[in-house]
Amino acid sequence: MCRMKSTACHQQTVVASSSSNEEDVSLGTDHGKESTPTCDVASSCAVSQRRSSLWKREAASLGKELQCLQEYHRQLMGEELSGLSIEDIENLENQLEKSMKGVRIKKEQILTDEIKEMSQKGNLIYQENLELHKKVDLIGQENADLRRVLVLATHVSLRNFIHLPFNSELHFLPRNKEPTKNLYTHSS
């Protein structure tokens, strides 16, 4: 079993891979230089067998590494811990704590970035809100001015219509008088 030996498995595979590559180069597969063509079928067959053997060893080594990594992953997930020593469990715990610290740091960074982004958006919205309030106030002022002009124009029109002298103050109804009856209501 690999028991917390993931790095050792990986190192063994790297050593096996590098030795395979060295053997591959020694077998005449240096593609940087042209080699003289060999007509010897037996030597060509031997080279193919050695390459095949190399690839088989490489595949076996990678299979072992995969198995070790899968076992290590299960241990990190809290599975298959029964065969581990106290030291192995403490090492696993330390590794998990380091990993959690990294996760927390990343989470904190993401949240900080999101808070900054939201704050910037909030400031933009606040500025837009201020501008909209200014526009609403300006439109309200323009509407008040237009109402005054309309009232004044209505007053001038009425004065011209009934030929009354112009008075800048508008008094539609005298305070002590009742409003006149509507001429359009049907009375019985």
Widest CA span in the chain? 133
**What are the domain boundaries of the chain?**
6-27+41-112
Does this model's pTM top 0.75? My answer is no
Residues of the chain short of pLDDT 50, as ranges, are 1, 3-11, 13-16, 20, 24-34, 173-177, 183, 188
Angle, helices 6-26 vs 41-76, to 10°: value is 170
Q: What Å distances lie between residue 161 and 102, 145, 182, CA to CA?
A: 86, 24, 19
pLDDT at 72: 85
> How many angstroms separate the CA atoms of 16 and 148, rounded?
95
Residue-wise pLDDT tens digits, 50-101: 899 999 999 999 999 999 999 888 888 888 788 888 998 999 899 999 999 9
- 27: part of which helix (H) or strand (E)? none
**One-letter amino acid of 131:** E
For the range 88-92, what are the long-range contacts, defined as Cβ-Cβ under 8 Å and sequence gap of 24 or more?
A: 88/3, 88/4, 91/4, 92/4
